[in-house]
Structure 1
Amino acid sequence: MADTPGDAPSSDRSVEAIRRYYDTFAEGEADRLTKDVAGRVSFEIHRRFMVNHLTKSQRILEIGAGPGRFTTVLAEHGARVVVTDISPVQLHLNEVNVTAAGSEHAVEARHTLDVRDTSRFPDASFDMVLAYGGPLSYAFDQERQALAGLLRIVKPEGVVIASVMSLWGSWRARFPGATQLAIRYGTDVTDAVIRTGDLRHVPGMTHVCRMFTWEQIATLVAECGGEILAGSASNWASLEDPTILADIERSPQLWERFIAYETAACASVGARDGGTHILFAARRS
């Protein structure tokens, strides 16, 4: 049963729903960043943001690894990776895809893991924790516990790189759908979503998460004993007309120039709320 705007939704119940969602979604997650040109732009923004913090031979914990798109990138850069995901189905697909890519040698282990509980790992175990795909957005009201756990297990000079779903960027990108929610369910529902960032307030919503603003992320990192090193939106101009992007992609020269501009735009402070996801890098302060 859907939570109403006045409810205090259960995190445990919601996280279990997310596990089932990704078990069912299965191979669809593998296509999310490749099926269209906007997805390919977003993948490249994520990749470049991550690579800025990669050095050879790092030991990295990947949370929410999914079908392995970024696991293979980590392997290409000489990392040793502990692969985790909340979904056993996604973990299996990760093994299949990473093996097919010839990158399985980089995988140290695979575990089913809820981002809210990293207690199985000792303090300062990793050079980097990578949490792409929004795992912290699935911690709901336990995001502080989750992020504090990630900062605990990274080495003092190590880095946590993560993405969360963006409140204002998602509103921008999905404005027609957001408008329909207000028409169908009333402004009490949309007010609750905007106020909390929590999609569990939408009746019947099957894929729920907690969305954030850049200001909230900066505050969250500080409250968890960390400091922000860098930030970015996942997309900016690439949220516009897909036919224009397709024309750009057909020219390698234009494509490379566009990606450079898009990367710079996404990293600017004024644009960090403007994409569907917010990327951030943080370390212990």
Structure 2
Amino acid sequence: MNHAIFEHYQETSPLHHLNPAVKLLSSVVVMLFTSLIFDPLTLTGIALFGLLLTLGPGRIPPGLILRGLIPFFLFGIGFFWMNALLPRLADGTEAGADILLTLGPLRFYRTGVRNGVSFGIRSLGFGIYSLLFVATTNPTDFILSLVHQLHLPPRLAYSALAAYRYLPTLHSEIAMIRNAHQVRGTSSLPGPRGVFQRSYRFTIPLLVSGIRRAGRAADAMEARAFTGRNRSWYRQTRLGFRDLLYVIALASGIAFITLYSRHRGSLVFWGGQLWN
């Protein structure tokens, strides 16, 4: 079975049975914490720890992880490139003394390369912990946990679920529209005018289909009096002991990596500016 990038992977694993709200908040806290770290060693350790959780307790195939990390890898390359070529040097540092490598008109600076590597690894870390949550979380359970644990209004939660369910069908609808155009022998103009023409032909049917789906979802919510008041639930998500164990294990792993980096003298926290 083929899985799209950042889609729930249907598997039975310890991470699949955790409360989605706990996984969401844990991943967000880890990503906020890594935003304050600027040394590559600590960032690499935190990213590898998340990768081990995704491969081990999450049981997510390596191929699916690699596919999901492609956008974050591209972001990391962009961060590295911009920082390596356009660094912000510390006060009193001459640009010529900070040059690491010269390739024709391109000059790579030590400060920029160090910061670029940090930004790139941080981008991959964000991707890993995002994938850890998305690939191991059923969308319906996630919405229920938002309502039961985080007290999100059911109308907003159901609307988000309907939109999330609609996104994977866009690919199939685009394929159907393309096949319909081929059956009718529809041709397009060459050059930029043809690109605009094809975009118009695809956008209008997708917009109409989205409006129809939104109308049907709104009618269904109104027919069921989906206000969230005095409702009973067929299934309810709860917090359990395994959720506490996950939070403790995750916090312990991050704390161990941070303390080890501090012991080695390589830990660099945010100093109040975007660059170090």
TM class by smaller structure:
under 0.3
Q: Which has the higher helix share?
A: 2
Q: Which has the higher strand share?
A: 1
Larger radius of gyration: 2
Of structures 1 and 2, the one scoring higher in RCO (CA 8 A, sep 6+) is 2
TM score, norm. by length of structure 2: 0.27
